[in-house]
Amino acid sequence: MSSQIDGASSVALLSDSLSRLQTTADPGDRPAPYVPRRPASRDGYGFRNSGISTPLKQEQPAIAELVPDPNGLGWPAKSTISRLNATPEEKAAREKKMAIAVRTILDCIGEDPDREGLLRTPERYVQALMFMTKGYEERLVDVINDAVFSEDHDEMVLVRDIEFSSLCEHHLVPFTGKVAIGYIPNKLVLGLSKLARIAETFSRRLQVQERLTKQIAIAVQEAIKPRGVAVVMEATHMCMTMRGVQKPGSTTVTSCMLGCFRTQQKTREEFLTLIKGK
């Protein structure tokens, strides 16, 4: 019985000591509450303005923060404007500089840039790379080309199985697949081929699939201000199948839902059901 009383007394004394310590301690000496560190975002949700990232204002929804860039390119990078406005002489000088770099790469991997099969490879590769990144020279206003029409249609519009190919910005190897784009009009509809052209424009740049999916969705949203936009993309990445982990057959699926597709479950489910149907 005595040992139980002693134990209870010890607990009471310890609690009393801790309470007094917390009361007398300087608040400035107390450790700050732990706040998980979030990585800094390098890209805003809106269009970049002359290569400068457009930040989001925290007090307003993301979709209200889209700031079109002056040239209508949509997320232009540091050198996009100079490539867009290059004179023929500047273009030739740029391509010559690139060809010299490719020749250096051939030499560094152990090849002979002067052998017959590789003599014109630098120039051929430059032309191929410029084609595979031609999206940097395409303005969205030219891509859409006034193909916006007034139409009293308030049901879903969907184009699926749009094939695309792009270059992974981490390894400069291709990733290819299909994308489905759907939207619910708000008095305006977009020419069907323009959905595929928007996907083509953004895929012909150095990309990651997550950003590519979102850029397509936001471009459609900006073009016709529909009630909602949904984009689902499925792709195979060469940087994952032919190097690194080397897992052929693996696919990556990404999605971006805006407006009613994000807020209304039934609308979202209808879209997902339609893209799976054959």
172-199 burial: b if 16+ Cβ within 10 Å, else e = eebbebebbbbbbbeeebbeeebbbbbb
Please give the pLDDT value at position 56.
40
Please give the pLDDT value at position 271.
96
Identify the domain containing residue 90 by its residue range.
65-137
Same domain membership, residue 151 and residue 133: no
Same domain membership, residue 204 and residue 182: yes
User: Taking the model in full, what pTM does it have?
Assistant: 0.74
- CATH code, domain with 130: 1.10.286.10
Same domain membership, residue 180 and residue 102: no
Same domain membership, residue 153 and residue 241: yes
Same domain membership, residue 183 and residue 147: yes
Please give the pLDDT value at position 258.
96
Please give the pLDDT value at position 52.
37
Q: Can you tell me the distance from the alpha carbon of 103 to that of 231, in angstroms, rounded to the nearest whole number? A: 40
Q: Please tell me the total count of domains within the chain.
A: 2
Same domain membership, residue 76 and residue 98: yes
Please give the pLDDT value at position 227.
96
- CATH code, domain with 237: 3.30.1130.10
Same domain membership, residue 201 and residue 89: no
* Successive 10-residue mean pLDDT values, the chain, 278 residues: 53 56 51 47 37 39 48 79 91 96 97 96 97 93 90 94 96 96 96 96 96 95 94 94 85 96 95 88
| 22: in domain | no
For the CA atoms of 225, 165, 133, 214, what is the dihedral angle to 10 degrees? 30
| 12: in domain | no
**Which of 110, 137, 164 represents a domain boundary (last residue)?**
137
